[in-house]
Amino acid sequence: MFQTTIAKLLPKLPESFVWRFSKKYIAGKDQESLLSKAKIENEKGANITVDILGEEIQNIEEAAYFFDQYMELIPKLADKNIDVNISIKPSMFGLKLDKERCYQYYEQILSHISQHESGFVRIDMEDSSYTSIEIELYEHFLQKYPKNVGLVIQAYLYRSHKDILQLMEKYPEYHLNFRLCKGIYVETPEHAYQDKQEVRESYLRILKSMLKGGCYVGIATHDSWLVDMILQWIKENNIPTKSYEFQCLCGVKENLKLSIIKKNIKNRVYIPYGKNWFAYSTRRLKENPKMVNDIIKSFFSCK
Ligand SMILES: Cc1cc2nc3c(=O)[nH]c(=O)nc-3n(C[C@H](O)[C@H](O)[C@H](O)COP(=O)(O)OP(=O)(O)OC[C@H]3O[C@@H](n4cnc5c(N)ncnc54)[C@H](O)[C@@H]3O)c2cc1C
């Protein structure tokens, strides 16, 4: 109740006030802020992936703006010797509004990005109404850009384990590349585990299948219990370090990130930026008021 009230109240507050807690999680409003945040993360020993804030466009014409932003950013990352690794939400390119246009945007970005050594596009995963069409999108580009494209899988969905087993069986010739996360959208018991421990168990089950099946995995979690279990299993099973990396969100659990880097394990930080930061922050909170707890904690530790 308290969380829901705060989440509803935030959009009515001045942007400067909301920025006070959002700035910890978002690089800034423009490319300059992103490039300087990325440099800082690189200096700490972390790799990065960039997310331009925006999703669920209402009109396909809006997609052109985001496409141009990504195309402009790619050479700038390369010029500054920063990873050319970007994350894109398919709803930002209007996957449900105009599939053909959305595919064209991904095609042009992938063709451009694949010319860079670290060039990589991660297809972010959205709510469960998108799961099948985002897997289909991944399969389409996997065949042309096997080294440059990867998909996100959400451990809370019942279907996810079967989905990855099917993909592995269907494409034995490719080194599939997944980011595994718990899942951030509010899903009903019809589609997703609701219990925290069940989600963790599903996460471990899926991760083990991916790593044993030879996939590359971006292990995206800040759950220390899960991280400890994973590190132990990886050690016991001699999983080579080149098969995985850990991933975290910008501004979340900095100490966990640094402790992973200290173990000489690759870590990638997901850095969002963009002019839509206010809409993004408030919409996310309305969708998932449980995040209020995390934000309140960080608000009181703001410098
Ligand atoms: C790199 C990356 C990419 C992601 N991409 C996607 C995606 O494409 N699709 C998708 O559905 N989800 C995505 N997520 C979000 C993910 O699904 C989870 O919702 C999120 O990571 C929280 O789960 P957790 O595993 O960290 O565990 P939790 O148990 O939720 O969190 C563990 C602890 O981490 C801290 N924490 C976690 N999240 C936050 C936060 N937002 N702010 C402050 N503190 C926090 C808290 O202290 C919390 O107690 C991504 C997450 C990461 C790290």
CA distance 48 to 261: 13
Kindly tell me the burial class for residue 240, based on how many C-beta atoms sit within 10 Å of its own C-beta (0-12, 13-18, 19 or more): exposed
CA distance 168 to 67: 30
Residue 295 lies in a domain: no
CB atoms within 10 A of CB 29: 16
Nearest to 271 by CA among 15, 33, 16, 17: 33
Nearest to 103 by CA among 131, 132, 155, 138: 138
Residue 280 lies in a domain: no
Residue 95 lies in a domain: yes
179 is catalytic: yes
Residue 300 lies in a domain: no
What pLDDT was estimated at residue 302?
38
Q: Is 241 left (phi over 0), alpha (psi -120 to 50) or beta?
A: alpha
Nearest to 84 by CA among 129, 126, 115: 115
CA distance 113 to 86: 9
Give 252 Cα–ligand 1 centroid separation in angstroms: 8
> Which residue among the candidates 51, 122, 124, 268 is catalytic per the annotation?
124
CATH code: domain of residue 49 = 3.20.20.220
How open is the CA angle 16-21-26, to the nearest 5 degrees? 95
Structural domain tally of the chain? 1
Residue 101 lies in a domain: yes
* Beta carbon of 253 within 6 Å of any ligand 1 atom: yes
What pLDDT was estimated at residue 211?
98
* Beta carbon of 291 within 6 Å of any ligand 1 atom: yes
- Residue 196 CA: nearest ligand 1 atom is 29
**Ligand 1 atom 30, closest CA:** 223
**Ligand 1 atom 34, closest CA:** 222
In the block, which residue shows the tokens 């580009």?
141
What domain range includes position 140?
Answer: 27-273
What pLDDT was estimated at residue 17?
75
Local confidence pLDDT in tens for the 303 residues of the chain: 666 776 677 777 778 877 877 788 899 999 999 999 999 999 999 999 999 999 889 999 999 999 999 999 999 999 999 999 999 999 999 999 999 999 999 999 999 999 999 999 999 999 999 999 999 999 999 999 999 999 999 999 999 999 999 999 999 999 999 999 999 999 999 999 999 999 999 999 999 999 999 999 999 999 999 999 999 999 999 999 999 999 999 989 999 999 999 999 999 999 999 998 887 777 666 666 666 666 666 555 433
> Which residue among the candidates 51, 83, 122, 179 is catalytic per the annotation?
179
* Beta carbon of 271 within 6 Å of any ligand 1 atom: no
Kindly tell me the burial class for residue 162, based on how many C-beta atoms sit within 10 Å of its own C-beta (0-12, 13-18, 19 or more): exposed
What are 85's strand-pairing partners?
120
What pLDDT was estimated at residue 295?
60
Residue 228 lies in a domain: yes
Residue 12 lies in a domain: no
Residue 184 lies in a domain: yes
